[in-house]
Amino acid sequence: MDFEKDLTENTQGETAEEDITDAAEKLAKNASDSWDYSRKYFTMPKGAVENDEIVDGDFWKGITLPDVDEKPRGKNVARRIILNTLFAVVFLGTGFLIACVSARGKGVVSNLVTGGKHMTFNMKLADRPEAADELKDESGKYTAQGIAEVCGPSVVSLDIFTEQSTIMPSGKGSGIIISTDGYIVSNAHVIDKAKNGIKAVLSDGREYAAEVIGSDPRTDIAVIKIPATDLQPAEFGNSDQVKLGEDVVCIGTPAGYRHSITKGVVSGTDRRVIPENSTLGVSCLQVDAAINPGNSGGAMFNMWGQVIGITSSKLASIDYEGIGFAITTNEAKSVIEDLMETGTVKGKARMGIVFVQITEATAELTNSTPGLCVQSIAPECDVANTDLQLGDLITHINGTSVNDIEDVPAYVRKMEPGDEVTCHVIRKTDDNEKEFDITFKLMDDRNTLVEDTEE
C-alpha cells in the first residue's frame, strides 16, 4: 500500500538520519489506514490503544520497531579504523611494558632515561633453620640466645623517681632477682636517690612498686623487695673460678631499653675498683661488653647461666672504650646477706694506708727493696698515731711478706675491725736505713674505731 511504500522510502533515503519513531508517527497521523499497518508491522503494547484510534508521539515510544537496514556512513568507518588502531597501539604498548617489567623490574622505565642504573630488587628472607637445641652448644653451655631466653626472666628493669620526678622517672637501672618472693639485688647508686619510689618491671611486663631493704654505698650494693611470688631467681656462681677470655653475657636496661643483651669476654679478674662514694676498693671483673647507664645493677652471666658479677656503669672507665666492670659475686655475697638480715652491713676492716707497689723486678732496676711504699695515711685511722711516715716501705704484715698491692686487701679481708696489725717498716735516709715495727688497730671502713668491751 502507499503508506507502506512511503514509510520504506523515508527510512532508507535522505531522511535516514531522522528518528524512525518520529517519522513513523508523522506518517501514521496522515494515513487513514495507519491502524491496519500498525497492527501488521508493530507489536502493540497491551491495552495501549483502541481500534482505529489515532495515537500521538508517546505511543510510538512504547512499541517494538522492525529491523531497518541502514547504510554505514563513510566517516564512521574511518573513525572506527582510527579508534581500533589507537586501541591496538595502546594494547601492544602495555603488553610490551609488562613484559619489560617482568624481565627487568620496575626500574626499566627510569633506565631508559638514566641509562640503566635502576632496577627492582626483591631481597628474599629465608626462615631460620631448625636446630636440635639452639639454646646450647656442643659442650652443653648456653648460647647468647639461650642466656637471654633462660636467664632473662631473672633480671628486672628499675624506674627511679627522685624528688624532682613524680610522674616520669628520672633514672633507670637494673636488678637481679635473688629469691622467689621478690628480693632483688642492685647497685646502691641506682636506688639512693629514689625519694619518690622505685618501680620494678619484670621481663613479662608486670610492674611492682619496690621498697628498699638495705643499701651499702661503700660496696655499691643494695637490696630491694617487690610484693610478688613465684619469681625465677638467678643462680649465682663462684666468681673465683672465672677465667680470662671466658665468654659472658650482660643483661640490663641501658639508656632505658629494657632487657637488652650484650656479649663480651672477661678482660681481667679481681680488679680492685673504688666506688664513687667509697674509699674501699671492691673486687671486680673487667669485661669488654658494653656497660652503659641503665646497666647498673644488672647481671653478668657466664655461659652456664650463672651470675658471676653485678654490672655497674659507675665503675666503667670514662676515658677509654671497651672497659666495663662488674662487682664479683664473691665480693657481693656477704654484703647481700648482711643487707637481707639486718638492712645494714657490718663494718669491714680498713688499714687507712694508700700504697705504691715496688716489685722485685722494679727493686732490682732501682736498687731498692721490694715492698709497699706508703703514699698517704688517713688521719682518722689509728695508723696515724704510729711513727709511720710518707715514703716508708712496708715489707711484712703480721710476719707475712707483702710485695704485691693485691696482697693487702686479701689479707685484711680475713680480719675484723679492731684487730691489731703489726707491720715491719724500712725507712731510708740519705745516710742510713732504719728498720722498725709499728702496731695499730684496723679501722671500721665507716671511719670508726671498735671499742674494746672487755673488762
Tell me what pLDDT residue 20 has: 57
The confidence score (pLDDT) of residue 311 equals 94
Burial class, 242, CB count within 10 angstroms (exposed 0-12 / middle 13-18 / buried 19+): buried
Least confident of 113-117, 392-396, 418-422: 113-117
pLDDT in tens, 182-236: 999 999 999 988 888 999 999 999 999 999 999 998 889 999 999 999 999 999 9
Q: Compare 60 and 450 and report the one with higher pLDDT.
A: 60
| Helices within 42-73 (DSSP H only) | 57-60
**What percent of the chain is modeled with pLDDT above 90?**
38
Active site residue 444: no
Q: Provide the whole-model pTM.
A: 0.62
Q: How much is the mean pLDDT over the chain?
A: 79
Give CA separation, 320 vs 103, 269, 323, 324, in Å.
Answer: 54, 18, 7, 9
> Given a cut of 50, is residue 7 above it in pLDDT?
no
Cα of first residue to Cα of last residue in the chain, in angstroms, is 158
- Which three-class secondary structure string do you get for 276-298? CCCCCCEEEEEECCCCCCCCCCC
Contacts 24+ apart (CB under 8 A), 135-142: 141/303, 141/304, 142/303, 142/304, 142/305
**Which residue is listed with cell 510510538?**
60
pLDDT per position as a tens digit, 160-194: 998 777 778 888 999 999 999 999 999 999 998 88
Catalytic hit among 38, 157, 189, 267: 189
Domain chopping of the chain, boundaries: 2-60, 141-346, 349-444
- State residue 232 phi and psi, 5-degree precision: -100, 100
Most confident of 79-88, 241-250, 316-325: 241-250
Nearby residues of 4 by Cβ (< 8 Å), 6 or more positions away: 37, 41
User: Quick one: pLDDT at residue 14?
Assistant: 47
pLDDT of residue 38: 54
Q: Give the mean pLDDT of 74-95.
A: 80
**pLDDT score, position 448:** 38
Please check the confidence at residue 288 and state whether its pLDDT lies above 70.
yes
For the domain covering 141-346, report its CATH number: 2.40.10.120
Q: Can you give the pLDDT at residue 63?
A: 55
pLDDT digits 0-9 by tens, 379-388:
888 999 999 9
Label residue 292 by pLDDT band (50, 70, 90): confident
Buried b (16+ CB within 10 A) or exposed e, 30-52: ebeebbebbeeebeeeeeeeeee
C-alpha span between 195 and 169 (Å, rounded)? 11
Q: Which whole number is the average pLDDT over 101-112?
A: 58
Q: Is the per-residue pLDDT at 369 higher than 70?
A: yes
DSSP tag of 391: T
Let me know if 157 is a catalytic residue: no
Cell matching residue 362: 722494679
**Contacts with 404 (C-beta within 8 Å, 6 or more apart), sequence order:** 357, 359
Task: Give the integer Cα–Cα distance in Å for 267 and 314.
Answer: 18
Q: Are 220 and 187 in contact (CB under 8 A)?
A: yes
Mean pLDDT in residue range 408-432: 85
How far is residue 65's CA from residue 41's CA, in Å, rounded to a whole number?
A: 8
pLDDT (0 to 100) of residue 184: 96
Distance (Å, whole) CA 209 – CA 194: 12
pLDDT, tens only, 307-332: 999 998 766 555 667 788 999 999 99
The H or E element spanning position 177 is: strand 171-177
Q: How far apart are CA 201 and CA 182, in angstroms?
A: 12
Nearest to 286 by CA among 328, 235, 236: 328
Active-site pick, 296, 312, 313, 424: 296
Angle at the Cα of 152 from the Cα atoms of 148 and 155, rounded to 5 degrees: 145
Looking at the chain, the whole-number percentage of residues with pLDDT higher than 70 is 71
Residue 382: CB partners within 8 Å, gap ≥ 6? Answer: 352, 440, 441, 442, 443, 449
pLDDT at position 446? 61
Q: Are the CB atoms for 415 and 421 separated by under 8 Å? A: yes
C-alpha grid cell for residue 12?
A: 532508507
| CATH-assigned architecture of domain 349-444 | Roll (2.30)
Catalytic status, residue 313: no
Burial (0-12, 13-18, 19+ Cβ within 10 Å), 198: buried
pLDDT for 453:
31
pLDDT of residue 390 exceeding 60: yes
Furthest C-alpha separation in the chain? 162
Q: Hey, CA dihedral for 87, 89, 93, 95, is it positive or negative?
A: positive
Catalytic residue, candidates 220, 382, 444, 445: 220
